[in-house]
């Protein structure tokens, strides 16, 4: 019952297009091969089990603070690796610390595989921007 009520109070459209467009590479600290932007690859990274897998996971695992702090969107950035895993998760926008820590905690737990980005018929590492929209009633 709590899950149903929780789902009614929020709506994630995390994989929807964000109003802010990130056109520069963020300061990721992962060493290794070059990291491409989504705009620089031929095929962008995709979740193997579809966009709804991320939305379901977020709605089931994201916990809200008891205080009513208005936040409409958390913008996260991470690298989709060649093996389909994600690494170097960051929160890009300014949000209260609780929301930032919770987004990092939940995304760190997310272990669904990704199809990696492709450039010139080669799988490459790619920065992925994930806006998490929060609608609380």
Q: What is the pTM of this model?
A: 0.74
- Write the pLDDT tens digit of every residue in 56-67: 898 899 887 777
Give residue 6's domain range: 2-133
| Tokens encoding 29 | 């600290």
Contacts of 109 (CB under 8 A, 6+ apart): 61
Residue 86 CA, distance from chain mean position: 10
- Write the pLDDT tens digit of every residue in 8-43: 333 333 333 334 444 445 555 444 578 999 999 999
Domain count, the chain: 1
């Amino acid at each position: 019952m709590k899950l149903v009520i929780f789902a009614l109070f929020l709506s994630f459209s995390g994989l929807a297009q964000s109003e802010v467009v990130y056109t520069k590479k963020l300061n990721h600290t992962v060493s290794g091969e070059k990291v491409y932007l989504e705009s620089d690859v031929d095929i962008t990274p995709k979740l193997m089990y579809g966009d709804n897998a991320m939305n379901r996971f977020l709605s089931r695992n994201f916990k809200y603070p008891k205080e009513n702090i208005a936040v409409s969107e958390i913008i996260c950035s991470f690298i989709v690796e060649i093996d389909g895993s994600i690494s170097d998760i960051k929160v890009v926008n300014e949000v209260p610390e609780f929301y930032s820590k919770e987004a990092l905690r939940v995304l760190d737990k997310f272990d669904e595989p990704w199809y990696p980005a492709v450039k010139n018929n080669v799988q490459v590492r790619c920065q992925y921007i994930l806006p998490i929209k929060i609608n609380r009633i």
